[in-house]
Structure 1
Amino acid sequence: MKPALISELPAPMTGSVDLLIVAGEHSGDEHAARVVSELREKNPALKIAALGGPELAKAGAQLLHDLTATSVVGFVEVLKHYSFFKSLFDATLAWVELHQPRAICFVDYPGFNLRLAAQLRERGLSVKGGGTVKLLYYISPQIWAWKPKRRFTMARDLDALSVIFPFEPACYADTALAVEFVGHPFLAADYVPPVSFDAAGPILLLPGSRVQAVARIFPRLLAGFAEYAKTNPAARAVALYPSAEVVAVAREELTRWPQLAGKVELKPVSESHVATPLAASAVLTSSGTMSLHCALAGIPGAVVYRTNALTYLLARWLVKIDYIGIANLLLKEPMYPEFIQDAATSRALAAQLQECVTNPARLAQTREQLGRLRQLLWQPAAGTAADWVARHLKLC
């Protein structure tokens, strides 16, 4: 079902806004929420509004629209929802023009955010356009994978960029954009991991956070687990989901697997944060944020990815990287073997699970890679992402 069009966004409850955050995905919502929480500790009077999700609302931002509920991925999927995103885009521009926040912090989500930054400059609202609104960007688009020329338009439109991978500042070295590595949020002092490793734990199935991706990936994960369970009848699995929209898709898919009745539990990812991390012995995961959670927990596994055929063909043409898994990219080697499109067969995935659970050498390799991964992502001395935002807001 297509989301309803948006004519306008709510006015600020406070009458003025210091910071507007735009985070379109569940992971961006979580990362931005940590920034907001830290900022409000530094300055409780700070007035923050957001296009984001429930985590930003919990952190104290006024949620103007739950953008995470309508997040889509892929060229074809975006076209299907063009009218909605156009209405949201126009409503956001009108809101910024009317309420003039001191700064906007874009969080990832480049398809929407970079276009918005360009329009704010063209309309004379941003600092780069001669206006007063400072444009900050947290979590760089993956210009090292595709669309590398974006760095020049980013330098034209943005005032500053903070990045979470140590190799990214060098990607902007030939521009005038101020770029700062602020460490990865998963290594922050207050980070609570949603998962942990336990050799006696269940298999973890992580199909992603977007409805379209889950609809394509979850059937492959279930097929791999079902094949594995044929020779491991006591095996159990847990599938984590971030939203009601995603769990609805997962429940519907599970009805097509009667042989897995009672073997697969659906669990909200937020529940793991509230209580204790979910312990798992192995994982089949999509290539997104949760795959890095698992890598930093030392859980062995494999990456599975499936998308629309046209989107995949376009990606093969445009994307120039050796891996799609975040940990693999950082390490420049396969911590998680990758099974993309038709390579994600039930037998191949079952074999991965079998090796993860029974082969001590596989676990030892994962542990060694974990140590190197943590060293790469450690927070630098300059401070956190919240410190970076605070400096640009002149709070410190």
Structure 2
Amino acid sequence: MSAFPSIPAHFDRPRAGEVDVLVVAGEHSGDQHAAKVVAELLKVRPGLRIVAFGGPQLRTAGAQLLMDMTTFSAVGIVEILSAYPFYRKLFSRIVAWTTQWKPKVVVLVDYPGLNLRLANELRKAGLSRAGFGETAVIQYVSPQLWAWKPKRRFTMARDLDGVGTIFPFEPACYADTKLDARFVGHPFAESDHQPGLTYDPDGPVLLLPGSRPKPVRKIFPALVEAFALFRQEHPKRRALVLHTGGEVHAELYRLLAEYGDQAKGIDLRPVSEGPAVGCAALVSSGTMSLTVALAGIPGAVVYRANPLTWIVGRRLIAGRVDNLGIANILLKRQAWPEYLQGACEPAPLAARLRECIEAPGPRAQAVADAGELLSLLSAQSGSTPAEWVATFLPK
């Protein structure tokens, strides 16, 4: 856990005296997405008074930053419990500031663990329109109700005045509620998005086991062994493992050391070093699987978990989604074959890598599927995130 900063007894007053938009973004990705929205809003309405609990990108975009929320986090049960007093104090002071200054719109960006609680508190305080107040409280980036805790939609409908979704099928998740849910496009489909991956036929094989230590421990061994089998026929090929640093990097390094010569040709690199290239990919289900798909990189989606976790998880999502990879969910078919739990074994994974490298079909299909995904994820004219937020502002 990174060090937690001190929380001021009172956050700064808004420099402009009043607040049109308050943004709450608690992670680096949220700071990045929110900064784009703020920059677009200020292009159209340069006089808007925007304040944020967020990160440096929001400040650069033109918001008055009250506190950097991207410099701290708690991961793991021990750290979360020890961090509880910090988060309780932070939460209460955000609520106090918001109820004092009464912004016209509060934009909660992703981060549902904090933001949905904040929406509930603002409703109970009578600030939000949902609580018969005058402030619109809206959520940008819907929680993945289609995969986890779908009943949250009812408390969200009670507490929020709107939700902007980044997947086109998500508004339907709220169809049985009164909540105004609109698809506003995915950040990866925006014209100025800088992709983290691109296809290169001479590039390395990408081994992407995820960004959390426990899944990495379960998934990465199968990827190492699969690449070793693949390399028997392609000895000059190398593999690249992108990681988020910290505990994940340590776990990857430990596993590679355990495999010794069997792990030859595998390199580790932090995601923070910038864009990477690849010729094929074995990728854990998650955000990175969508990045791979949009890059037109052929490969497969992989996943392994503790057997009990797997059984419980499959029961929880049964009937709601047929696939784990987000690209496959969007396309309603296994465009990227999925090797899950017992099927996530070295031999079939190595065979899939050989197919991606040796035959033109998988790459051609991946390019076609990437184009279809981009079309599905692109916002329609008049429904970008900034345009959506603007609809909640007074004319």
**Alignment TM class, shorter chain as reference:** 0.7 to 0.9
187, 197, 204: which one aligns with 2:206: 204
**Residues 369-378 or 127-136, more deviating:** 127-136
- Asked if structure 2 preserves the Cα contact closer than 8 Å seen for 1:6 and 1:84, the reply is no
- Asked if structure 1 preserves the Cα contact closer than 8 Å seen for 2:109 and 2:139, the reply is yes
C-alpha separation in 2, matches of 1:89 and 1:151 = 24
Please give the residue correspondences for 1:379-390 in structure 2 after superposition, counting only pairs within 5 Å. Answer: 379-390=379-390
Q: Determine whether 1:348 maps to 2:351.
A: no
Shift of residue 182 of structure 1? 1.1
Match of 1:298 in 2: 296
SS in 1 for 2:207: strand
* Aligned residues between the structures: 385
Q: Determine whether 1:47 maps to 2:45.
A: no
Please give the residue correspondences for 1:1-396 in structure 2 after superposition, counting only pairs within 5 Å. Answer: 8=7, 12-13=11-12, 15=14, 18-24=20-26, 27-42=29-44, 43=46, 46-51=49-54, 56=58, 59=61, 62=65, 64-66=67-69, 70=73, 72=75, 77=76, 81-85=80-84, 87-100=86-99, 102=103, 103-244=105-246, 246-259=248-261, 263-272=265-274, 277-320=275-318, 321-394=321-394
C-alpha separation in 2, matches of 1:68 and 1:323 = 34
Between structure 1 and structure 2, the one with the greater Rg is 2
Shift of residue 159 of structure 1? 0.9
SS in 2 for 1:50: strand
Unpaired runs of 5+ in structure 1? none
Percent sequence identity over aligned pairs: 46
Change beyond 3 A, Cα 1:21–1:240: farther
Shift of residue 48 of structure 1? 3.0
- Asked if structure 1 preserves the Cα contact closer than 8 Å seen for 2:207 and 2:241, the reply is yes
C-alpha separation in 1, matches of 2:218 and 2:23 = 30
SS in 2 for 1:329: helix
- Asked if structure 1 preserves the Cα contact closer than 8 Å seen for 2:12 and 2:66, the reply is no
C-alpha separation in 1, matches of 2:254 and 2:28 = 22
C-alpha separation in 2, matches of 1:41 and 1:243 = 36
**Residues 187-196 or 230-239, more deviating:** 230-239
Unpaired runs of 5+ in structure 2? none
Shift of residue 254 of structure 1? 3.2
Amino acid at match of 1:110: P
Change beyond 3 A, Cα 1:340–1:166: same
- Asked if structure 1 preserves the Cα contact closer than 8 Å seen for 2:224 and 2:263, the reply is no
Q: TM-score, normalization: structure 2?
A: 0.84
Amino acid at match of 2:96: E
C-alpha separation in 2, matches of 1:50 and 1:366 = 39
Shift of residue 66 of structure 1? 4.2
What whole-Å deviation, never above 9, does each CA across 1:233-270 have from its counterpart, x for those lacking one?
21112222345554344334433333266623333334
SS in 2 for 1:379: coil
C-alpha separation in 2, matches of 1:178 and 1:297 = 32
**Residues 60-69 or 193-202, more deviating:** 60-69
What whole-Å deviation, never above 9, does each CA across 1:354-379 have from its counterpart, x for those lacking one?
11111222222222322322221222
Shift of residue 157 of structure 1? 0.5
